[in-house]
Amino acid sequence: MSRLEKVLIVDADTCTGCSVCELVCSMAKHGEYNPRKSYIRVLRNREMSVDIVALDTRCDFCNQCVDWCLPRAIWFVDPAEAAVIRKQHTIGTFPAPRLAEVRTDD
């Protein structure tokens, strides 16, 4: 099991669900704009009108998604800071879930 280096924090109240993070990640990692090949996912719950960002376990924390997030809804922190953020915020701001490798349809 690999050591968790960083944690992606998501401000769900700020995230617009634009998916720019997915496009930027796929371009950085695979040289094409294809959200299915991205290591970051915007999971949409249409019934509750909320977008949740999740990371694939293959993410190498290159920060491209954060740099290009227009509403500044995501950022990386170290695991200790993530624990403090999680404790201070009960709703809306949280560590992004980590997903097992998502098939990229290569």
> pLDDT value at position 72?
95
* Cα distances (Å, whole numbers) of residue 9 to 24, 73, 104: 18, 8, 24
Radius of gyration for the alpha carbons in the chain, expressed in angstroms and rounded: 13
- The tens digit of pLDDT for each residue in 22-49 reads 999 999 999 999 999 999 999 988 887 7
> What residue segments make up the domains of the chain, in order of their start?
7-99
Q: Which residues make beta-bridge pairs with 29?
A: none
Mean pLDDT to the nearest integer, 1-29: 87
- The tens digit of pLDDT for each residue in 47-87 reads 877 788 999 999 999 999 999 999 999 999 998 888 888 77
Contacts of 47 (CB under 8 A, 6+ apart): none
> pLDDT value at position 1?
36
* Cα distances (Å, whole numbers) of residue 65 to 30, 60, 89: 14, 11, 22
pTM, rounded to two decimals: 0.80
